[in-house]
Amino acid sequence: MNITDLINRHAGKQCVCCGEIISHQNVATESGWREVGISGMCEVCFDNIFEDWCFWKLDRKVANIVRSIDNVVLAGGAMRALVDTGDTICDYDLFVTDLSVLDPLKKRITDSGFNMVFECPEGKLFTYRNEDVKVQAINNRQYVDIYDLINSFDITACCAAWDGDRVYKNKRFVFDVLNKRINLNKIEYPKATLNRLMKYSQKGYKLTREANEYFFNTLSTFEWTDENERFYID
């Protein structure tokens, strides 16, 4: 059965896992359409079973930092590169989910051979480097838990975190990374999000129709402040 026949047969059905209607929004590949016929699951739900994380890509010192301190997680773009084998890790964003561990994290980073090269005046971002690796310690706000953290990210292909033990992710994370789709989770800093949309398009990601509509609908009702007009943390 070819891809057209598969789509005609299965589009419009309800996913047995999430209950959403099967469409091009949650199934992107021929194997995904075949999986619908086998399990009744959309490709988004099937991808949530994904366990082939490329942890070998992580810098060993950074991985040890995450493992050594509770309430410190690696999140954002580096997590994307653990799914997309063709992607590279440009830097490591370490978030604290408990503000009390910021100072121990900063000390652990410097003790691991990294030098601070930038400190945000507001104390929300600290950038470190050694010869090959860039690490950022991010202290944006107090989070309820790791899911609260990743739910604050704008692009779903970045909505994932690792605490040294397990991975936490948005349900669309793996699907959107593997299929290079830009979907939006939340928009708090529109100028920063627009900048990131352009950056992701240069990586070969395609903005979905739903994300495009969501972005402009959000802008039409957005209440601008001095805080959210900034480009903020990338």
74-99, pLDDT tens digit by residue?
Answer: 998 999 999 998 899 999 999 999 99
Task: Calculate helix-pair angle for 190-202, 209-220, nearest 10 degrees.
Answer: 160
Contacts for 73-77 with beta carbons within 8 Å, 24 or more apart? 73/97, 73/146, 73/149, 73/161, 73/162, 73/163, 73/164, 73/168, 74/161, 74/162, 75/149, 75/150, 75/153, 75/158, 75/160, 75/161, 75/162, 76/153, 76/158, 76/160, 76/161, 77/158
212-224, pLDDT tens digit by residue?
Answer: 999 999 888 888 8
Q: Is the pLDDT assigned to residue 104 strictly greater than 90?
A: yes
Here the CATH number for the domain that contains residue 105 is 3.30.460.10
Write down which residue in 110, 138, 169 finishes a domain: 169
Q: Are residues 40 and 113 in the same domain?
A: no
In a domain, 25, yes or no: yes
Buried b / exposed e over 57-71, threshold 16 CB at 10 Å, is ebbebbbebbeebeb
Please tell me the predicted confidence (pLDDT) of residue 152. 93
Please tell me the predicted confidence (pLDDT) of residue 234. 47
15-69, pLDDT tens digit by residue?
Answer: 998 999 999 999 998 888 888 888 898 989 888 888 789 999 999 999 999 999 9
Q: What is the DSSP letter of 35?
A: H
CB of 209 closer than 8 Å to CB of 181:
no
Q: Are residues 182 and 102 in the same domain?
A: no
Total domains, the chain: 3
Give the model's confidence band at 232: pLDDT under 50 very low, under 70 low, under 90 confident, else very high.
low
What is the pTM assigned to this prediction?
A: 0.86
Separation CA 132–CA 149 (nearest Å): 27
Q: Are residues 69 and 164 in the same domain?
A: yes
Separation CA 130–CA 114 (nearest Å): 5
Structure tokens at 5: 């026949």
Q: Are residues 62 and 163 in the same domain?
A: yes
In a domain, 230, yes or no: no
In a domain, 100, yes or no: yes
Q: Give every CB contact of residue 14 below 8 A, 6+ residues apart in sequence.
A: 20, 21, 22
Structure tokens at 105: 């994290």
In a domain, 226, yes or no: no
What are the Cα distances from residue 66, in Å, to 75, 98, 138? 11, 14, 13
In a domain, 120, yes or no: yes
Q: Are residues 150 and 212 in the same domain?
A: no
Please tell me the predicted confidence (pLDDT) of residue 9. 86
Q: Are residues 31 and 69 in the same domain?
A: no
Q: Are residues 117 and 186 in the same domain?
A: no
Range(s) of the domain holding residue 27: 3-47
Listed in sequence order, the DSSP H helices in 71-208 are 77-81, 102-111, 146-150, 173-178, 190-202
In a domain, 31, yes or no: yes
Separation CA 175–CA 183 (nearest Å): 10
